[in-house]
Amino acid sequence: MSNSKVPKQIDRRYIYLILLVGIIVPLLVPLGFVSEVSDLSKQVYDLVESTPESSVVMISFDYEPSTATELQPMSKSIIEHAWRKNQRIVVLALWPQGVQMAEMAFADVLKKFPGKQYGKDYVNLGYKTGGMVTIQAMGRNLREVFPNDYKGTPLDNLEMMTGVKNFNQIGYMMSMSSGDPGLKQYVMAAHDIFKAKVSGGTTAVSAPGFIPYVNDQKQLYGLLGGLKGAAEYEAMIGVKGTATSGMDAQSVAHMIIIIFIILGNIRAYKIRHLKQ
């Protein structure tokens, strides 16, 4: 049989180019593919939504730039949702670079809420080492651990910190966590000892290990897992952020790969048929 009838092979450079375009376009212009929101993500949303206005809440930035792709969108979405509900946010970090992550997240969200003021609507306590010991100490007396904010201002001089002594005055606490110390320590200390409402988000690889804390032990009020969890939260608050565009790019790339797998199998079938 003549080789002229054999289907031509596609130059792999065209495949790479199509993949590149398929990834770049959704990153620049989010498509907002509709994805079913998991019950785990919905529980996190419901916790923020059901917390009364003017409540003081806490977000712990327990990650560094290497995992910011997954965790930074979660943090920004939680901040935006909390501020829509007029909740006041206490920020801290159990990881040294968490303070920087927090500053970047608030800088982005403040563009949508130019009226929010430091000391009145949010306070950054800074980084503190110690992990679980630090959390336990905050549960007893916040000012023993953080007498000042990260700028050195005494907490008593910050309007929103008036009357906030320990976890009893915190509506809920979120840990955006990429490891230890992080969400696990908040569950073991803040929830198990002080019965505080604890929730948060983790990287995709860590999320399965926390599901029993939600479903079986009822120690966590929901969980955001990886980029998908971040995209689900963006969808619930009506935002097309970096998590949404990231998931769009991933989805498009998967569809392109599937199409080429199908075409490759069709070509292989034709070749085998022609050789018979």
Cα–Cα–Cα angle for 207, 210, 211, nearest 5°?
A: 90
What would the mean pLDDT of 7-17 be, rounded to a whole number? Answer: 75
pLDDT digits (tens, 9 = 90+) for 132-184: 999 999 999 999 999 999 999 999 999 999 999 999 999 999 999 999 999 99
pLDDT digits (tens, 9 = 90+) for 16-64: 888 788 778 877 777 766 668 999 999 999 999 999 999 999 999 999 9
Asked if residue 233 has pLDDT above 90, the reply is yes
Tokens representing 196 are 């505080």
pLDDT, mean over the chain: 90
Quote the CA–CA distance of 246 and 23 in Å, as a whole number: 9
Asked if residue 197 has pLDDT above 60, the reply is yes
Percentage of the residues of the chain whose pLDDT score is greater than 70: 94
Helix axis angle for 68-84 and 39-50, nearest 10°, is: 40
Quote the CA–CA distance of 202 and 144 in Å, as a whole number: 28
The pLDDT confidence band at residue 1, using thresholds 50, 70 and 90, is very low
| Residue pair 41/229 in contact by the 8 Å Cβ criterion | yes
β-pair partners for 174: 59, 199
